[in-house]
Structure 1
């Protein structure tokens, strides 16, 4: 187990105290720990979406360098966008 210490001003403490019964947490320590873990998980997931792994990055750049031929759906969309004369 590790200990984390923080200081809250009166307004912050009152806000957390108000949320505590709504969260199901049994103590302010468990509430703060769970909130910190939730935030950490969200940041890590966001990072994974922004920066893909090596295989995903390689596939992305391969598709940029060697794009597939346009399919009928894309051709029709282009015609609609440009007008029927395209």
Structure 2
């Protein structure tokens, strides 16, 4: 952990029976309850974020994407104007 890293605190309310179950599971794994809960939460969060950021399409959509990449259309006037504006703003 770097010197600039900070730690925040999180608190949750749970049913006693659920806390006992998680506590037992953590003991069986030989780790603290907070580490047990946090490890699972981080793994689950990474999966959820990765799934949300993944782009999915149909087979036909995939073919259309590949075709557009291999055979891009000629730039229209609006695209040319946007590119000119971008380049002039970037040069400033």
- Tell me whether 1:3 sits opposite 2:1 in the alignment: no
SS in 2 for 1:8: coil
What secondary structure, in the 3-state scheme, does the structure 1 residue paired with 2:12 have? coil
- 5+ long unaligned stretches in structure 1: 53-58, 66-86
Report the Cα offset of residue 35 of structure 1: 1.4
Aligned residues: 57
TM value normalised by structure 2? 0.49
- Aligned match for 1:13, one of 13, 16, 19: 19
Match of 2:45 among 40, 49, 60: 40
CA distance in 2, matches of 1:4, 1:32: 11
1:46 CA displacement: 1.8
Moved over 2 A (4+): 21-25, 59-65
CA distance in 1, matches of 2:13, 2:50: 28
- For structure 2, which runs of at least 5 residues remain unmatched after alignment? 1-6, 69-92
